[in-house]
Chain A
Amino acid sequence: MTPETVIRRVLEGDIESFRFILEKYESPVVRMIRNITDSTDSSEDIAQDVFLTAYKKLASFDPARSNFSTWLFTIARNKSINALKKKRALSVTELPEKADTREPLHDLAKKEFFDQLDRKLRALPSRQRRAFILAEFQKLSYEEIAQIEGARLGTIKSRINRAKNKLRSALKDLDGDIL
């Protein structure tokens, strides 16, 4: 069943068909929100809001303009940006996570490198960061990312390349191999 068929059914009154959309897109939407907002706690709440908004606005979805997934990810992107703005306004200082000393040494080293990459990712300008997340974690095409971000294809390619270069520089800081 294609998303377009499901949408038609939902608009005709078969609300239960919306479950199909949920089951198909809940993972990519929650993942995208979690990575953009950098928050595990609130990502499901934001995702619930995304799906409810999608249901309310379903009649306005135009298959001639974009794929359903692109339309849905655009809603998720906008909600994530709004959530980030609210989060920054609250300006809660997060305490750094303490390393679990029970972990084996190589796991601790790996965790340290992951944290370093996380920090580099967090430090990227928001547009570069979003473009990188959509390309590398969501595995979306550059065309889809351009549609979601409302930017030109060349701009998106450039943002992703810049983000990758900055993360590569973080990798260069690593001393040889972890193990």
Chain B
Amino acid sequence: MKRQEVYNAWKERKSQIEIAENFTDGVMIQVYQHAQKKRKPMFDIRQLAELISAHPLVQAGLIAAGAVAGFVRVAFVVCVFLGS
């Protein structure tokens, strides 16, 4: 083998490449994960509605909180009215 042939064979070897079969899929998974993260809003109203409808305790808590808020509001108005 001549020097130039050695050099060419070396260059050929350095140009060859073997890539894992799942390389493309691996990158695509990361790309999809990134895109999903980017799309996800800070406050998801649909997720909140699902949470409320799935848990009776959450529903009861919300109704109680609403009733308390309503009572406080009525009491505040009565106080203002009597005070004047």
Number of residues from A at the complex interface, CB < 8 A: 33
Mark each residue of chain B from 26 to 52: 1 if its CB lies under 8 Å from any CB of chain A, else 0: 111011101100000000000000000
Given A15-B31, A31-B17, A179-B1: A44 and B23 within 8 A (CB)? yes
Task: Report the nearest A residue to B27, measured CB to CB.
Answer: A51
Q: Does B19 contact A15, Cβ atoms closer than 8 Å?
A: no
Q: Does B81 contact A (CB under 8 A)?
A: no
Chain B residue numbers with a CB within 8 Å of A117 are 6-7, 10
Q: Does B20 contact A174, Cβ atoms closer than 8 Å?
A: no
Q: Does A171 contact B11, Cβ atoms closer than 8 Å?
A: no
Task: Report the nearest A residue to B26, measured CB to CB.
Answer: A48
Number of residues from B at the complex interface, CB < 8 A: 24
Q: What secondary structure prevails in chain B residues at the interface with A? A: helix
Residues of B participating in the A interface, judged by any CB pair closer than 8 Å: 1-3, 6-7, 9-11, 13-15, 17, 19-20, 23-24, 26-28, 30-32, 34-35
What are 29 inter-chain pairs, A to B, with CB distance below 8 A?
A: A15-B32, A18-B28, A19-B24, A19-B28, A26-B19, A27-B19, A30-B19, A30-B23, A31-B15, A31-B17, A44-B19, A44-B20, A44-B23, A48-B27, A48-B30, A51-B27, A52-B31, A52-B34, A56-B34, A110-B6, A113-B10, A117-B6, A117-B7, A117-B10, A137-B14, A177-B1, A177-B2, A178-B1, A179-B1
